[in-house]
Structure 1
Amino acid sequence: MTDFWIASGHHLCDRDAAGRLLPTPDLWRAFLARPELRPPPEACNAERALHASLLRDPLRAVSGASLAALADPDAAENWQVFLRFRDRVAAQPTLEAAWIDFFRGDVRGVPPLFLQMLTQLVCRAALDGVTDAYVLRAAECLFRPQRAAIHQGALLLADEETVDLRARDGDLGALGQLLTEAGAAPRAVELDVLASPDVAAYAARADAHDLALDIAQNRPGQHALARALERFIEHVLGERTAIRPAAVIEDPDWSWHVGLDTEATAIANDLWHGKDVAQARLARIVWLGVLDFAEASRVLPRAAGRPVYLALAMDTAQRLRLKPQNLLAGLPLLAAEAAS
């Protein structure tokens, strides 16, 4: 079996001719089955009836009076938030178009969990047909926060939620210890580092998010992150690109950069403006890439024919939160084609 990220619900979507995702009632039923939306034991009969009616017809209209009938005002507000999210997604032709609409518009009030689920679905569609486990694992960074650690020459990324769960269970091992307690003495390794491109082996445990990825220079993970970003940009924006990892920013007069997270954006902006940046802060940059567009006519004149630098960094607590929406807002395109 080579299907991966089954828990995303991608198999509950239809596809259009371009391979973009069309939500079905069954996808919405999967949302409704999540613990965040299932009525708790103490829920009133009206909330139980609302949930049951949405399971039967996930796209049915829900009146304000129906929400006002709920005994718990917080529950009514939570349902209102979900229904707004559902309706905004349903108003778009594809999930990719909905993702663009959210991040080009206003995401205030949208639960981060819903945006993470939507991003994972879009990533899953972008990676359809990929047979390199390193690329698939690297793509997890686009929708799941990571912890970073340097260990015996490796620059390792591990899923933050998985690390936190193992920390609570006391099942850390050397890698987990490094990822949670700086300077702690190594014990037995419990978190595995991805060591093979075999997609079947990766798929068997993909939904566990329990494989660490080495993105040190010239390691497969470093190049895999570039491939994952290429696939995402082409699928969502319709732009073919070539991205290569870089050790440093080679052009002192570089014309364009995109920070892939808050930390990298701040560091790259300071460098671009000629400010002195402390070495300890520079060391937080864990990955650099150089992007070239296949179609130069679609690039802003200021950046035409010039490389676009991409930067990814960890914060002071060694957390890494890649924001693919920064590509949407930051790439120097004359007019990005929205997925539709």
Structure 2
Amino acid sequence: MHAESVESSKALLLPANPFHSFWQLGASSALSLGPQGWLCPGSAFLSLILRRPELALVAESCEAEIALHQALLIDPMACVQPDQLGSIQDADARDNFAMFVDFREALLAAGTLEAYYLEVLRSGRVRVPPLFLDSLVATVLGFVQRETLDAFQVRAGQLLYREQRLSLSEGRALCADSEALDQRQAYAHSAAGLLDVLSPDNAADFWRQGESALYALDLTHELSKELVHGLSFKLTRSHSGLKALSQVLTQWLGHFLQTQENESLSIEPLPQVDDSAWRWHIGLDAESMSLLNDLYEGRAVDSVRLGRLLSLFRLDAPARSDKPVYLGLAMRTDGSLRLKPQNLLLNLPPEWALRG
């Protein structure tokens, strides 16, 4: 990942982000809303699931699979009989369509995408394929960001449903979509094909390219500047990826908490936790959760592991608690990052009363 540009024609030839269509669906407000302002499932959402590669027809598809797929594309709500599934010759295809039907029925029974999402996560037995849950997150996030004009926030939002890969160099943390980076490297066969870093100068291109927009995000929040005589100061970047991510997480949490316009809710990047009354913390991924637990309990943490901590955050909601909640974000040992937006919803203090 680097900030050097590549030919825009190459970028436009790359495969589209398969989850961006779900984001676009939510952003278009094409789904109806339930009483609490949550998204009701419908044919538009289910049609996108049916167009996923896992359910797409292939040359080897039998007549029964072709007939079922075509019928569901016409009416994603159509009743599917057991013999229709049983007639599909390929076992993997048969299982995939069975999972789709089970997912569809459970989603419709829950009434809204958000209610189903919480129901699955709270069950403690998540048997739903990750791509189904990621599609839910992308669609809900698109709705939450439907009026967002900030390209940095939209790109930061992708961290909630797309695995990322980090590159640390000269005090900067560059974050790229793992699948997009692999696609670019496979396409270019050379270092010249690495991703551009999103900046104010190319933000318009990000919007123009839409689903094919592939940009790295700079998660560096502060830059250290060395002066003479050993003096230094820290400069907060105006287009910080961490600041954009904080705003996205605030919107995400506020949507599920069903906050009112006059309710104050904020998440801000934090260089360190200096709080003798530190009461509650949430890791936004498995790595940071383990790290914060050890720090909270006073256990030793080696410098290598601590170096994987990308940022801390402070979550404040005065109407719900007079104590802040501290958040953490860290990359894995292999440099990847898989943010789990459900952690922010499921691990809140009891008094926050997340309904749904």
* TM range, smaller chain: 0.7 to 0.9
Q: Aligned partners of 2:198 and 2:300: how far apart in 1?
A: 37
Question: Which runs of no fewer than 5 residues in structure 1 stay unpaired?
Answer: 174-187, 297-303
Q: Aligned partners of 1:12 and 1:39: how far apart in 2?
A: 29
Contact 1:288–1:312, Cα closer than 8 Å, also in 2: yes
Contact 2:207–2:213, Cα closer than 8 Å, also in 1: no
Q: How does 1:1-340 map to 2 (within 5 A)?
A: 5-6=20-21, 8=23, 9-10=25-26, 11=28, 13-16=30-33, 19-106=37-124, 108-171=126-189, 173=191, 190-196=194-200, 200-217=204-221, 218-219=236-237, 220-239=240-259, 241-296=265-320, 304-334=321-351, 336-338=353-355
RMSD over aligned Cα atoms: 2.3
Counterpart code for 2:63: N
Q: Aligned partners of 1:280 and 1:161: how far apart in 2?
A: 26
Q: Aligned partners of 2:343 and 2:197: how far apart in 1?
A: 28
Residue identity over aligned pairs, in percent, reads 37
Deviation at 1:34, TM superposition (A): 2.4
TM-score by length of 1: 0.85
Counterpart code for 2:207: A
Partner SS, residue 168 of structure 2: strand
Partner SS, residue 230 of structure 1: helix
Q: Aligned partners of 1:89 and 1:113: how far apart in 2?
A: 15
Partner SS, residue 136 of structure 1: helix
Cα 1:203–1:104 change in 2 (3 A) is farther
Q: Aligned partners of 1:7 and 1:23: how far apart in 2?
A: 12
Counterpart code for 1:234: G
Q: Aligned partners of 1:107 and 1:275: how far apart in 2?
A: 31
Task: Report the more deviating stretch, 10-19 or 82-91.
Answer: 10-19
Q: Aligned partners of 2:329 and 2:288: how far apart in 1?
A: 5
Question: Which runs of no fewer than 5 residues in structure 2 stay unpaired?
Answer: 1-18, 222-235
Deviation at 1:232, TM superposition (A): 0.5
Cα 1:252–1:189 change in 2 (3 A) is farther
Partner SS, residue 110 of structure 2: coil
Per-residue Cα deviation, 1:104-156 (whole angstroms, up to 9, x for no partner): 22553311111111110011111121222211111111111111112333211
Task: Report the more deviating stretch, 273-282 or 248-257.
Answer: 248-257
Q: Aligned partners of 1:336 and 1:207: how far apart in 2?
A: 36
Task: Report the more deviating stretch, 321-330 or 48-57.
Answer: 48-57
